[in-house]
Homo-oligomer: A and B are copies of this chain.
Amino acid sequence: MKKGVMRTGHIQIRVLDLDEGLAHYRDRLGLLEMDRDDTRVFLKGWTECDKYSVVLREADEAGMDFLGFKVDSDARLDELRADLEAAGYATEELPAGDLPDCGRRITFVAGTGHRFELYADKVSTGRHGVGHHNPEAWPEDLKGMKATRFDHALLYGEDLASVYTLFTDVLGFWLSEQAMDGEERIAQFFTCSMKEHEIAFIKQEGNTGAFHHASFYLESWQDVLHAADIISMHDISLDIGPTRHGLTHGATIYFFDPSGNRNETFCGGDYFFPDHPVTTWDAEQLGKAVFYHTRELNERFLTVTT
């Protein structure tokens, strides 16, 4: 948190059918339905204190509308907006309430075509079921995979170099891990917290705004197994897993929501402090870097929604 960005705070995902999408994210992933408006549903994981972190919007095409980062004060929004403008990004301010229960947001588009936004305020509802006064260990009413929080996102794009400058210089993230093809950085993982990544990018030519996956944190490797079981029980489309990543070493499953958006549920993995050396994977080891056990990329790894 070099410049006040605390974490990846919310994501708006497009689904082809809102009811079907809600059933997936609520009943299978185990997110909590917190609110609705005409076209959207607002959800979160039970350990998250803010009111929501995932917004599902019904649309004709799957993909990610935007990813929002929460900053530590309203004043930061103006500072960071100035820094973004100075770096050549066109920014726009969306007023408080444009996203329900959320304060004003500064929105802009990165060189990879992804829309990001910054916000400082959101209604806090506290930890679900347990609260913050003599809190029990966990709530007993969780469903499905019992996702504890929206954790991070992985995006694909062409212009990774400008995104590198954007996240490190302008937004004050740290580079935690990278994959290098000679001198070219083909994968870059950024964090502003102790998580090994709050957001990551992998090089893919010819795509704009490509969305690889939204990731949700589970309590344990036991829960990763149970998540895979739930995928089978409900005929959810599996990508890969249970397995482990080389990058970050998280223990993971990739699968798809009914609209084709990829989800990840994972546990464990490395942690970050700002004085940690950057971890580097060689391009020749990219298979192992991504899927540590099979040591090769699967075909579907190139599939994205946009």
Residues in A lying within 8 Å of B, measured CB to CB: 1, 6-7, 47, 49-50, 70, 72, 124, 126, 132-138, 140, 144, 193-195, 219-222, 225-226, 228-233, 238, 241-244, 246, 249, 251, 268, 270-271, 273-282, 285, 288-289, 292-295
Residues in B with CB closer than 8 Å to A274 are 1, 6, 72
The smallest beta-carbon distance between A60 and chain B, in angstroms, is 29
Knowing that A137-B246, A229-B292, A232-B293 touch, tell me 16 more A-B residue pairs with CB under 8 angstroms. Answer: A49-B273, A49-B275, A72-B274, A133-B279, A134-B246, A134-B285, A135-B249, A136-B232, A137-B229, A193-B194, A220-B221, A221-B222, A222-B222, A229-B293, A232-B295, A238-B295
Structural contact, B229 and A273, CB atoms closer than 8 A? no
Report the nearest B residue to A135, measured CB to CB: B279
A220→B219 contact, CB < 8 A = no
Bound: A222/B221 CA distance, A: 7
CA distance A219 to B238 in the complex (A): 25
- Do A278 and B221 touch (CB < 8 A)? no
Cβ A132 vs Cβ B275 within 8 A: no
Residues of B within 8 A of A126 (CB): 277
- Distance between Cα atoms of A219 and B280 in the complex (Å): 23
Q: Tell me, in angstroms, the Cα distance from A154 to B232 when the chains sit together.
A: 24
A270 to B222, CA, bound (A): 17
Which B residues are in CB contact (< 8 Å) with A233?
136-137, 140
Q: How far is the CA of A278 from the CA of B70 in the complex (A)?
A: 18
**4 A-B pairs closest in CB distance:** A194-B194, A132-B277, A222-B222, A137-B229
Give Cα distance in the complex from A294 to B292, angstroms.
18
Is there contact, CB below 8 Å, between A47 and B293?
no
For A136, list chain B residues within 8 Å (CB): 229, 232-233
In the bound complex, how far is the Cα of B285 from the Cα of A241, in angstroms? Answer: 20
Q: How far is the CA of A218 from the CA of B246 in the complex (A)?
A: 20
